[in-house]
């Protein structure tokens, strides 16, 4: 008998159609006009300033959808249902030909992306192993290999529908390939727990 056991997997949560069509329409209409900040990754990528839920009634409504799922995903990460706070939210507008370079999110524990418009299959978010990982110095990499969760360098997320959102640990590297389709609008967010307790040594966080 033999078995392969996946040690210490990285959790990734997808929530389908969490945002209704009316909320999506209002978010797109309001925030697309405010996405005036340029991004160094691409001249065809712009975003809003970093926002708090309290900055807009629309963001408060969005936070009410996201926050209960933060508690669920946080229990996967930390083994306990604890309080969570949405630290910041922002809207990204990716025009045709735009891309987002590989990056992760500092000063947070859970990050996420809400998909507000259809996404071209070639512009799905790509998640990657950290370039500073513990890989072997030699690799077996050629046209004949079969990629799987233990040897792949990247994972392309499934094509999302408007209203879907995903959550992942903030340290996870991710990017968006050049977008060959129509304008792609997403809302990203970062979240922090209210506190972490390690055998009586408690750290509190404030948004």
Quick one: pLDDT at residue 136? 61
pLDDT band at residue 139 using 50, 70 and 90 as cut-offs: confident
Q: Return the CATH architecture of domain 13-133+145-193.
A: Sandwich (2.60)
Q: Dump pLDDT digits (tens) for 17-39.
A: 999 999 999 999 999 999 999 99
Residue 95 confidence (pLDDT) = 97
Instruction: Kindly report, residue by residue over 102-137, the tens digit of the pLDDT.
Output: 999 999 999 999 999 999 999 999 999 887 655 666
Q: Are 192 and 106 in contact (CB under 8 A)?
A: no
- What is the per-residue pLDDT for 104? 95
Compute the average pLDDT of residues 13-18: 98
pTM metric for this prediction: 0.94
Residue 137 has what pLDDT? 66
pLDDT in tens, 144-193: 999 998 888 899 999 999 999 999 999 999 999 999 999 999 999 999 99
Q: What's the token pair of residue 199? A: 């055998």
Percent of the chain clearing pLDDT 70 (strictly above): 97
Higher pLDDT, 137 or 41: 41
- Which band of pLDDT confidence, cut at 50, 70 and 90, is reported for residue 141? confident
Q: What is the pLDDT of residue 41?
A: 85
Domain layout of the chain by residue ranges: 13-133+145-193
């Amino acid at each position: 008998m033999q078995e392969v056991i996946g040690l210490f997997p990285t959790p990734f949560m997808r929530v389908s159609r969490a945002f209704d069509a009316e909320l999506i329409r209002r978010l797109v209409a309001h925030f697309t006009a405010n996405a005036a900040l340029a991004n160094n990754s691409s001249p065809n990528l712009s975003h809003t300033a970093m926002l708090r839920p309290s900055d807009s009634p629309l963001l408060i409504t969005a936070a009410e959808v996201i926050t209960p799922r933060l508690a669920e995903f946080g229990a996967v990460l930390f083994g306990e249902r604890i309080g969570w706070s949405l630290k910041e939210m922002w809207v990204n507008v990716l025009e045709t030909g735009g891309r987002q370079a590989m990056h992760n999110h500092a000063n947070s524990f859970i990050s996420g992306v809400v998909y507000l418009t259809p996404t071209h299959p070639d512009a799905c978010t790509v998640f990657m192993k950290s370039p500073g990982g513990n890989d072997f110095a030699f690799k077996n990499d050629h046209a004949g290999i079969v990629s799987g969760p233990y040897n792949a360098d990247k994972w392309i997320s499934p094509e999302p529908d408007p209203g879907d959102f995903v959550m992942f640990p903030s340290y996870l590297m991710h990017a968006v390939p050049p977008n060959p389709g129509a304008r792609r609008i997403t809302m990203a967010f970062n979240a922090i727990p209210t506190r972490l307790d390690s055998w009586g040594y408690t750290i509190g966080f404030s948004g």
